[in-house]
Amino acid sequence: MRMEYIPGVLGLLFISLSVHAQDSDTARVDLPEVVIAETYEQLRNKKTALTLEVADRDFLRKHFTGNFMQTMENIPGVQAMDIGAGFSKPMIRGMGFNRIAVLENGIKQEGQQWGADHGLELDAFNVEAVNVIKGPVSLLYGSDAMGGVIDIAPAQPPAEDVLFGDVTLLGKSVNETLAASLMLGIKKNAWYAKLRYSEQRFGDYHIPADTIVYMTRLIPVYGGKLKNTAGVERNVNVFARYQKKAYKSDYAVSNVYQKTGFFPGAHGIPDLSRLQDDGDSRNIELPYSKVNHLKVTTHQQYAWQTFILSGDVGYQNNHREERSLFHTHYNTQPLPEADPDKELEFNLHTFSLSAKGRLVGSASWEHQMGWDTQYQKNTISGYSFLLPAYERFTTGMSWLTTYRPSNLFMVSGGVRYDYGRIHVSAHDDPYLATYLQQMGYDDREVELYRWNSHRVDRNLGDYSLSLGMVWTPSVKHQLKANLGRSFRLPGANELASNGVHHGTFRHEQGDATLSSEQGWQMDASYRLKSGRWTAYVSPFASWFSNYIFLRPTGEWSVLPHSGQIYRYSQTEALFAGVEASVELQILPALSYHISAEYVHTYNCEEHIPLSFSPPARMQNTLTWQKKRYMLYAEWQSIARQNRVDRNEDRTPGANLCHIGGSLDVSIAKTDVEVSLTVRNLFNTRYFNHLSFYRKVEIPEPGRNFQLLIKVPF
């Protein structure tokens, strides 16, 4: 969609809605006092044996940063793998990449989630409620959800016919962010429609450092700003719902466009001249990445008295380019005749189809059956190589039964089987072959290395099981336990990647013989609510017989400037940990909340930790809230991470202070929401162990003032 058309589209929509909406006078009606016995989160937790966290409107408002995953990492057990100051990808209990599914409007977000430098293409302004399921959910969501699910729920329509909307403005000091979002909606009889347009522009971000280290070289950081980390993001979302009696139909179209620069000192061949300050902190020069994610989905549902049938259909196109001034690691590669600065391009098409049936046999029994299928096709281009072109087809069927003899106890169990087929195209590099011949390699070695990828045709199938229970003996206590066998089909990158991955600064190599990842996972939780106290603890453990990970081989890559080869391998692995929190209502307007989390990973064959193991973390938050006002102060303690994989850097710990507040100001009968926060108040220099830039010793952003203004109408 051409972005210059957006203002005209918004104007036409606003005029149309104004013409067709009916004016209505609001009468004040005094109702008797209503006592809410259970919250939405408590009701949802009663219905699932999995560990569930609900991020509601208040949570999202308090922690909003304009970056979806940096907001969600305030939930214990959820971490964000940062990519500079703008983008992040999810991790739950130490599992990330293709082990975490992100759903929006019932469809899994499909992009290049296997890469450490590839963020989520989602509009953070368009998120109003999120359900986070931690633990094995392959049974319900398929192969890519063995670590958990982040489910972005669609917004609920107003109860009455109304024309509504809001304008949201965001500013951040750390990278000079200027962002705005406009939403227009209408509820008219059986129809509900909403359109949102958001745009963010940000500059190079500040770090509390003046030098970094890349490939043993000391790299200067001029003016405390990371050069060429500016970016722009434009998002368009359209959602419509028709609901009448037993029939409900949802339609959604979204387009996310992102363009962001790469710090030149951490991309390509280091050159100090490229790091000189150019006097412009908002320009985007080479190298940079450009992503466009188009998604079209529909949800159909019809409910009979005892049976609900629903289905989802979706199409996604994830188009990613990485552009960098042409550079070659071997002098036999000529300058491309067309588009010479296109280093990598991935164009992924995904078609999704699913159907679910829910049968309520009686007041005690409920059965849910499901079927889903997905087809993907990825094409590539560019003067570098990392991932080959491929086609992937998966399909699966599941059955889940729930027995609830009373409102106090529930037990559920189910089984699922998935089948997958993948075809990877062969790809060779004749320029590399010529280089190796000139360097004196024999014919056998030349033939071995000239093929970036060989043709791969694999058929894989596996099953998952789940058994869980929920016991709620009273409003004070709730106990959950769940045991499941989960699996994950290997991805195209794990089977066939072969090249220098700038996202991880190493030569990565796939293995076409990998089998599906299999494991047993157990998690439990206990929640106590007594008077002013609420306590929660959730231990978990996972054992995998053939966990897939990148193993340092000890082999030196024949590609110059690429170092050691890291090859995808399988090993017996263990994950274990715990999350806990306590909340105390000190006074009617004053509360204290403390939460902590710990994940222990272990490679059982080599007796070392696994890579990307998140450090232990603890948060203390003191909140004062009364009517229209809210103030909070947060002290975050991040432990040092010394349990690292081979050739992975240790990360020192840090203590961070964040403060913030919000108020609702009544202007012309409209409650304007104003929030001001200060992150990293003391400008502490610290590292995120999971960060894209950690390996080159780039610290996290410094002190950041953020102002958010939301005007509903």
User: What is the C-alpha separation between 14 and 615, in angstroms, rounded?
Assistant: 48
Rounded average pLDDT over 449-469: 90
Q: What would the pLDDT profile of 81-110 be if each residue is shown by its tens digit?
A: 877 666 788 899 999 888 999 999 889 999
What pLDDT was estimated at residue 661?
Answer: 95
Top pLDDT among 695 and 364 is at 364
Considering only CA atoms, which of 528, 490, 525 is closest in space to residue 511?
Answer: 490
Q: Which two tokens stand for residue 303?
A: 């409910």
Judge whether 405 lies within some domain: yes
User: What is the C-alpha separation between 271 and 594, in angstroms, rounded?
Assistant: 46
Predicted confidence band of residue 400 (pLDDT cuts 50, 70, 90): very high
Considering only CA atoms, which of 167, 221, 223 is closest in space to residue 199?
Answer: 167
What pLDDT was estimated at residue 35?
Answer: 45
Considering only CA atoms, which of 469, 481, 473, 472 is closest in space to residue 538?
Answer: 481
Rounded average pLDDT over 42-51: 76
Considering only CA atoms, which of 257, 198, 251, 206 is closest in space to residue 231?
Answer: 257
The CATH number linked to 413 is 2.40.170.20
Is pLDDT above 60 for 4? Answer: no
Cis before 287 (ω within 30):
yes
Name which of 232-236, 423-427, 658-662, 689-693 the model is least confident about: 689-693
Judge whether 27 lies within some domain: no
CA angle, residues 196, 199, 204, in degrees to nearest 5 = 160
Predicted confidence band of residue 14 (pLDDT cuts 50, 70, 90): very low
Global confidence as pTM: 0.89
Residues 6+ apart with CB under 8 A from 179: 66, 125, 169, 170, 171, 198, 199, 200, 201, 202
**H or E, element range at 8:** helix 6-20
Q: Which two tokens stand for residue 274?
A: 């490229």
**Residue indicated by tokens 């991880």:** 504
Predicted confidence band of residue 654 (pLDDT cuts 50, 70, 90): very high
Tell me 24's DSSP state.
-
Is pLDDT above 70 for 512? Answer: yes
Predicted confidence band of residue 711 (pLDDT cuts 50, 70, 90): very high
Judge whether 411 lies within some domain: yes
Q: What would the pLDDT profile of 318-340 be if each residue is shown by its tens digit?
A: 999 999 888 877 788 898 988 99
What pLDDT was estimated at residue 559?
Answer: 74
Is pLDDT above 90 for 253? Answer: yes
Spatial contact of 139 and 400, defined as CB atoms under 8 Å apart: yes
Number of domains in the chain: 1
What pLDDT was estimated at residue 23?
Answer: 39
Is pLDDT above 90 for 584? Answer: yes
Judge whether 20 lies within some domain: no
**What amino acid occupies position 271?**
D
Q: Mean pLDDT score of the chain, rounded to an integer?
A: 87
User: What is the C-alpha separation between 282 and 341, in angstroms, rounded?
Assistant: 21
Q: Which two tokens stand for residue 496?
A: 């066939």
Predicted confidence band of residue 15 (pLDDT cuts 50, 70, 90): very low
Judge whether 328 lies within some domain: yes
Judge whether 7 lies within some domain: no
Report, in this order, helix, strand and coil percent for the chain, each rounded to 5.
10, 55, 35
Q: What would the pLDDT profile of 192-223 be if each residue is shown by its tens digit?
A: 999 999 999 999 999 998 888 766 677 788 88
Q: What would the pLDDT profile of 668-686 be if each residue is shown by its tens digit?
A: 888 899 999 999 999 999 9
Judge whether 15 lies within some domain: no
Spatial contact of 280 and 196, defined as CB atoms under 8 Å apart: no
Considering only CA atoms, which of 643, 491, 482 is closest in space to residue 574?
Answer: 643
Helix 430-438 × helix 443-450 angle, to 10° = 150
Judge whether 31 lies within some domain: no
- Domain of 185 in residue numbering reads as 37-712
